[in-house]
Structure formats: structure tokens, C-alpha cells
Amino acid sequence: MASMNTHAFAAAMHTTRDTLRYYEETGLLVPQRAANHYWLYSAADQATFKIITNLKKAHLSLAEIKTVLALRTQPVTADCRADTLALMSTKQAEFAHTAAYYSQLAALAQTMVTAVTTPASAPALDTLIEKLATIDD
């Protein structure tokens, strides 16, 4: 990928220039400056943006995302080892819980599909819909 200006990068990443500006201000994304003082975004910036997007989807805060991004370039020192371990352990547990929740939803959705496609041998759809109240989040 050749370097892109802010407008082109925002379009390619399906985001806004304001979001890119905010990420730059907070230090999450650090594009290079061109001679004309415009930002130029590289393939590395694209990867960083995708990491930010995925971690946001996983409900990490921007501060947590910044911590994760820092781990790309800074080794885990003895001073930060406990904090890093606590963050990663907490997030791993949250992800496992979320995966279990979505697994329950997926199984129920599959049962609903079966109920709709083969109504004679499947439970009533209204009964299955009521089961949505029993799924633990």
C-alpha cells in the first residue's frame, strides 16, 4: 500500500477524518508528516488502525488499547509485568465469557432455524424465543 493522505485513508478504513485526528491526538495512531505538513498514512498505520478497531469491537477502552499498542514496541519490563498480566488475564476471561454467551445464542438461533424450516418436528418458535430470557450474559 502506498502512503495515503487523511481523506484517502479515512475512506479506505471506513472511518472519519475526525476519528483519525482524535487517534493522532491521543497517540494511538502516529502517521508521518509530508513536506506539505499533511499526514501520510502507511501500511503500518493501516495495521494499527485495524488493531484499534478490533480491540474497540472487543470493548477495550482507549487507554487499554494504548497499553496493548505499546506492547508492540516496548518489552514487558519487571515494573509493568504485573499490570500487563492483570490486563491480559482480565481481558482473556472477558473474551471467554463473551464467547460462551454468543455460543449459547448461536445454538438457540440454530434451533430456531430448525423450528422454522421443519415445524412438525421442532419446538414452537414462541417457546424458543422465551428461552432468550434464560441465556446468561
pLDDT in tens, 68-107: 998 888 877 887 888 888 999 999 999 999 999 999 999 9
Helix (H) or strand (E) holding 40: strand 39-40
For residue 123, pLDDT over 80 is answered with no
Q: Which of 34, 37, 32, 68 is nearest to 50 (CA)?
A: 68
Helix (H) or strand (E) holding 13: helix 6-13
Alpha-carbon gap, residue 17 to 11, rounded angstroms:
9
17-26 helix and 6-13 helix, angle to the nearest 10 degrees: 100
Task: Count Cβ atoms within 10 A of the Cβ of residue 6 and give its class: 0-12 exposed, 13-18 middle, 19 or more buried.
Answer: middle
pLDDT in tens, 4-43: 999 999 999 999 999 999 999 999 999 999 888 889 999 9
Helix, strand or coil, per DSSP, at residue 105: helix
- The pLDDT of residue 26: 95
